[in-house]
Structure 1
Amino acid sequence: MIDRRLVLAGMASLAFAASASAEDWRTKYPEITFAAIPAENGSGVTERYGPFVSYLSKELGVKVTLRVANDYAAVIEGQRAGNIHIGYYGPASFARARLTGVKTDAFVIDVNSDGSKGYYSVFYVLAKSPYQKIEDLKGKNLGLVDPNSTSGNNMPRFKLNHLGIDPDAYFSKVIFTGSHENAVLALAQGTVDVAANWWNSEDDSNLTRMLNKDMVKSSDGKTLTKADFRIIGKSDMIINSPYAYLSELPDDMKAAIKQAFLDAATKDPEAFKKLSDGKNRPWEPITNADYDKTVELIKFVDSLRKKGS
């Protein structure tokens, strides 16, 4: 016959163990760092992510500090050093992290308003220019974003290779602008003749988000509109960006982080909406294996560079 007191004691012991486990990770990690790639300028990233980081702190019960990365590599190296516990990557920078031995695991992915989980790389020119296709731009200046940007460097190089174009030989200059916003501004102000950028849909792209903030001006100070730009090239779909935590974090801590992300759209809808200007659906789970094709893309682009060196 089972002693009821023993059963109750056992249940209490399990409950205490679970509570102690939860307490253990919070004791070990009283403050964690969340870092985001510089998809826009520093103040823009802070404004966009600030409310969500506050939600995350409240939900996890520990202080979450936002770090705005100077470049894509900063998120990679910060996680390699263990200084960034949660990173918002681009697909290519996450693939680069994996290729170079960073112990990080993707756990949720951005989801577009139509339920799709991908976006595109596009080449923009000014609508007033004579350029109708990439082949019209030989000897001109190309604006890219960052060496580890998917839509701003790796996919454009992949696309150009399919056209038989070596960008470093074909264009007069290839300029890394540092961010997607800077690439648009370089085009608007005439520093480059064509610029690569990300694009989800006609009403959701880096360009439209910048236009909504009246950020895009020509060299003479004129405020530009969507009609002032033309897309002359578009890639195949790229898998959306992942959020990834350090593999070595305690399992219960990782579970709590993942659940906080999955619950965000319901528990703090305003903070969640601010991340994408209300364009995205709630995050969905993802794994490292979903980025295997992106890893292959990075390997291919690396092979192109080696051939050219």
Structure 2
Amino acid sequence: MISRRTFGAGLALSAFLRAGPSLAQGADPDTLKVALLPDESASTIIQNNQGLKTYLEQGLGKRIELVVTTDYSSMIEAMRFKRIDLAYFGPLSYVLAKSRSPGIEPFAALVSGGQPTYSSYLIANVTAGIARTEDVKGKTVGFGDTASTSSHLIPRALLKNAGLEAGKDYSFQHLGTHDAVARAVQAGHVQAGGLSKPIFTSLVATKSIDPAKVHVVAESRPIPNYPWTVRGDLAPGLKEKIKTTFLEIKDPAILKPFKAEAFSPITDADYDVLRETAKLLNIDLTKVKS
């Protein structure tokens, strides 16, 4: 006769074995929550990306819920606690997210100008007497968010390479967004500033910034572009399907909100340059407020 204890243990083992393969295969939710960069109003971002939503639903056979968090910090935390499944990060905010959630995986980066990279500009007000990076000494510089790649980390590195230390050789202000930096430089509220080259080019093209009042002082080396990331604990087959689906996007209407020509494969190692830059600047990424 089988004892009650043995019978109970057998049931528990049977339940574990039934659950085991499912857990090993990873999560495969019916609805995927896709987080987009909170760089405009949430309603505008969601409306502009309805084409992406439809494309992913058709390609993945899943319901897609577009999510726009209040800021980068909440986006990083949402990925950390698995409240979102895919996220489109800025390069530095990805590195910050990865440091806090090692399981997340980058799989595709924005391609612009035929490359999965972009660059940062150091700009100056034309009346500020700044012709070279070294001329920023004694001036006030506008940076974007502390977690911004091309509006904080990289411009600081450009100045560091010219022998200028933040807070010692020049003062600085964090102004939030890239366009806020450009407008502050144009108005003379700060003498110089750092921002993304594509954003600056767009601001000039739309006549939001007058090139007669602001000029480019320096341009950075190529920076790995904005990555798409996925939760590492999703089912391997689903992750592969997601990657393939993104890499096969060809529709200009879907790519337009990202100012992209396509998406290209990317790995975590491609972002080591940002980690190295942070070390150069003595920035502890674990203490950066995202």
TM-score (norm 2): 0.78
Measure how far apart 1:80 and its partner are: 0.8
1:236 matched to 2:225: no
1:287 matched to 2:267: yes
| Distance in 2 between residues matched to 1:140 and 1:261, nearest whole Å | 44
Tell me the secondary structure at the aligned position of residue 130 of structure 1: coil
Measure how far apart 1:238 and its partner are: 1.2
Q: Deviations over 1:180-206 (max 9, x none)?
A: 22222222333322110111xxxxx20
Equivalent positions of 1:119-134 (< 5 A) are 119-134=118-133
Measure how far apart 1:176 and its partner are: 1.6
Measure how far apart 1:170 and its partner are: 2.5
Segments of 5+ residues of structure 2 without an aligned counterpart are 1-21
2:91 corresponds to: 91
2:258 corresponds to: 275
| Distance in 1 between residues matched to 2:162 and 2:180, nearest whole Å | 26
Measure how far apart 1:25 and its partner are: 8.5
Measure how far apart 1:303 and its partner are: 4.4
Equivalent positions of 1:215-254 (< 5 A) are 216=208, 224-254=209-239
* AA at the equivalent of 2:249: A
* AA at the equivalent of 1:270: A
Tell me the secondary structure at the aligned position of residue 82 of structure 2: coil
Q: For the Cα contact (< 8 Å) 1:48–1:275, is it kept in 2?
A: no
Question: Cα–Cα, structure 1 residues 44 and 207, in superposed 2: closer, same or farther, change >3 Å?
Answer: farther
Tell me the secondary structure at the aligned position of residue 35 of structure 1: strand
Tell me the secondary structure at the aligned position of residue 167 of structure 1: coil
Measure how far apart 1:98 and its partner are: 2.2
1:301 corresponds to: 281
Question: Cα–Cα, structure 1 residues 91 and 274, in superposed 2: closer, same or farther, change >3 Å?
Answer: closer
1:106 corresponds to: 106
Partner residue of 1:257 out of 230, 235, 242: 242
Segments of 5+ residues of structure 1 without an aligned counterpart are 1-20, 200-204, 217-223
Tell me the secondary structure at the aligned position of residue 167 of structure 2: helix
| Distance in 2 between residues matched to 1:160 and 1:239, nearest whole Å | 20
Q: For the Cα contact (< 8 Å) 2:131–2:217, is it kept in 1?
A: yes
Partner residue of 1:192 out of 190, 193, 202: 190
Tell me the secondary structure at the aligned position of residue 169 of structure 1: coil
RMSD of aligned alpha carbons? 2.9
| Distance in 2 between residues matched to 1:249 and 1:187, nearest whole Å | 45
Measure how far apart 1:240 and its partner are: 1.5
Q: How many residues align?
A: 263
1:17 corresponds to: none
